[in-house]
Structure 1
Amino acid sequence: SKSMEEWSEICGISIRDIEETARELTSYGKRAVVDVHRGIAQHTNGFYNVTSAMTVNLLLGNFDWKGGMIAASTYNTMGGKEGQPFPLDQWKPGRTSKFGISIIRHDVKYEDTTLFAGYPAKRNWWPLSSDIYEEIIPSIGDAYPYPVKALFSYMAAPTYSLPAGHTNIEILADVEKIPLFFASDILIGPTSMYADYIFPDLSYLERWEMHGSHPNMPVKVQPIRQPVIAPLTETVTVFGEEMPCSYEALLLALAERLGMKGFGKDGFGSGHDLTRPDDFYIRMVANVATDGTPVPDADDSEVKLFLESRRHLPKTVFDPERWQKITGPNWRKVVYVLNRGGRFQEYKDIYKGDWVANQYKRLVNFYQEKTAGTRNSFTGKPNPGYATYIPVSTTIGQSPKEAGFEDGYPLHLLTQRDVAMTKSRTVVDYWLLSIVPENAVVINGLDAKRLGLKSGDLVKVVSATNREGVWDLKNGTKKPMIGKVLVTETIMPGVITFTLGHGHWASGSTDVVIDNTIVKGDPRRATGIHSNAAMWVDPHLRNTCMLDPVGGSVSFYDTKVMLVKV
């Protein structure tokens, strides 16, 4: 354990503020919660930071209480419950089982494999985690645990989105490491620009999506995105059906070409075809409509509204006669749900006395036996199975200072989202771009005065692992990380930040040659700064960012940088 003075020094918060916060937090009984997201998770010690926060909730005893910790609650899309018409999870004729070890080495312990060769391992293994975004391309680059012949990416921009994402570019540009690269994208993006083939996908206005929920709301919901405009991609024919070119159409076309079971006529089983994307999605909507107590049937006026409000859509994405045939007696319930953009629990039903109605209602452990049964792939030491403080470190346990990352780099670099510019692709939405035409390097007035900076000055962001302060695109172009200063008192001294969404080098921001024709770029999409390439590269792995070896988070909030006036 540590003294309050030591904890205060570590977190940079006064003892008085810590004590005051603790008193207030515990004064509400079970009607208070420590809710977390990226802030404490996106560090090299993120897993144990989150475990610590959840341990506070356990000590408060607030799980499932009104005002306490809650779980996300959504209406079921895949069927299988009583009353739901389409058990999609069970309709998998010809299904094959996965085998072998994935390229990111997840769901398996290093020491249990034939690749075990002592510690440190060449790269991390992830017995507790999956979907480790920052490990995919770097693992391919190291051919560990094996080389690949082809890469397929979908809705992916790791070069832009990841801290130290520039490390992915060198691998993507190397045809020896990735001989063939396919991408599904809505534009020529910062990652798909390196692909051999790009298959056009649909944007948010043209596609289906079941959004689910997030554990920040006690309401049971299932928002459903559905096409509202005619797709702009070309029309293709798959299984004899016309449909817009999309990721789903591509998967169906591959299945048709390969003669895969579980697709085409009777793909879901006798009488249930899977020849179009909406064969899947409209059945999901019917399942949502009948989960638990079914929704009411839409009346005639609602059906009329449904049909007339979609009359502008082509039959390739809106075919009510076919949908009615698929959903049968549940058709009017489907209309009821789609007219409302999903299904949403009524407010009066979200609480039961002092409890939330949609309860987690499961065992929550102080001690994680599963975690304690795993080992750090670099040190060989067991991972703690409980909340603990582990300082920020490299994968082999060096502190940033020991790694030579801090000396000469006094400013702590953060990043965040602007509500009007939330994704790597948001820059293409000109209504939003007009609100936030560019971002800035946000700095406290004391730091600005010390560095001789004022709002509007241009600065370059550099770090110990990117001393040049550039994005090297490996095509003869280097994009410097230069942005305008914004001086404010709303950020702590010693800290700088920038918002995501600007500083593009692809996504229509520069000229592209397609079939010997120049498609002019729009310089509005290139404005501002994107400083992810300044974020620390792990000195042991050398081709990816600093990361959390237990939970898999990336280090967005640990880097120290220097600003160079331009």
Structure 2
Amino acid sequence: VAAFKAKHRANLGALIDPDHPDLGPKNNQFVMMCGRIEHGRKELAKRWLKGSFGSVNFYEHTTICEQSHHIAYNEATRQYKKGKWGKGKHHMKPDAANSEFVIYFGTGFVEANFGPPAMAEKVTDGLASGRLKVAVVDPRMSKSAAKAWKWLPIKPGTDAALALAMIQWMIRHKRYDRTYLQAANKAAAKAAGESTWSNATHLVRIEADGPGKLLRATDIGMGGDEFVVVKNGKPVAVGKEPVTGDLEYAGEIKGVKVKTAFTILKEEAESRSMREWSEICGIPVADIEAVAKEFTSHGKKAGAEMYRGPVQHTNGYYNGQAIIALNVLIGNIDHKGGMTTGGGHWHEDGSKLKKPFNMKKMHPGKLHAFGHKLSREKSAYEKSTLFEGYPAKRPWYPFTGNLYQEIIPSAADRYPYGCQALWLHKGTPGFATPAGQTALEILADPAIIPLVFATDIVVGETSMYADYIFPDTAIWERWGTPHTTPDVPQRASKIRQPTVEPMTEVVKVFSSAAEASGTACPSLSPHARV
């Protein structure tokens, strides 16, 4: 810190706290808190807030939606390359046009999902033709459950118990894809005719409190940071050449206790009896076994799908991981009728095609926002200048993002710093977050957040506490560029056009500079409406 202050002594006044330069500049005290902001608006807002104003504090609503779903998939699909872990995939859906069996955990194909319009037609066609069976895991009899082969009315939040019971049955009856699981790297997967692979055979260090880090070759004196498998009882480093390993192993290698990832999963599934898992989740053993048998009777043309239901709990990440494990066990990722990440899209900012305008490269004078976010997401407490032992004043969240419910309370606690201005867009934290009434109490106190303004289509439960409200248009009144979902296998970009004319007065908006010059200032939409 002393060296930093000496190097930047001329600009220390721009920082929130010169003694804690990692908090960033005072610009970070302006926060944009978005609900379900749409693509197009999202990219423009981030471009302005981060690249023009210089604040890191842009947020979406994801943690009050289904963030643990994204994190579970991300952690399950990240790859280790060139000495570091990369980014994984955040979303997968069943290839509904070709699937033969799909389990919907806490969601459905006609409601409560991501992209039902495109999905419902394919699933309905499959059900009507007899090609497809579905099971729905949901505490309530939903519209999707009413059309299901089997409805499993689970106790809320116990999805992992159901998934682990299924896994126990699958392993005991050897109803998993052994060839797929034994491939330890990309080369081995390619040799087996697969486009994906798993770490089922990779060895994991067993510490005093349970499974720890993945074993590396250097840990046992046989190489660098390669992962390690056991093949015919002997350790093998996983390099670039095809490597397969034994699925089940537990032992000690050169003084290091290890187990394969598959063995750890098996032991967790066997940690309770089927009857005990049944009592936890509320689903009869006979139904669990029937669904597990059906799930494993279609080769790779089956999928376990999840969305908000399993993950919007304090144990949601683990529910998500258990459900993903079902898919991994049958090796259905990137297979016809299995799970897919979809065809993707051409981005509206031009960054994928690099034409006609790559907006990411067209930002003269761009600022580089820096510093810990108000929510402390993507930051480690131990690596910050605020570290003073445990506990921290509020939690830090190195693995997640868009912590919507953490923003306003953090501003109230001024940890790691306060908020001088808050922009609420397309969201109502006073209604949509846990203990929302406390958010309203904070927003009502100008001593905590001096300036609050909102863009809203109504004077809402939260925007009524704003100092200023800028009227917005509703989705059916404006153009939009929402993205496709993984359910759509072809690459496509969507454009939504207005279906009705806004029933609000149309006015022209001028800036002070425009007024002086007599030139209108263009707005983000063709008209500003009040």
TM-score (norm 2): 0.44
TM-score (norm 1): 0.42
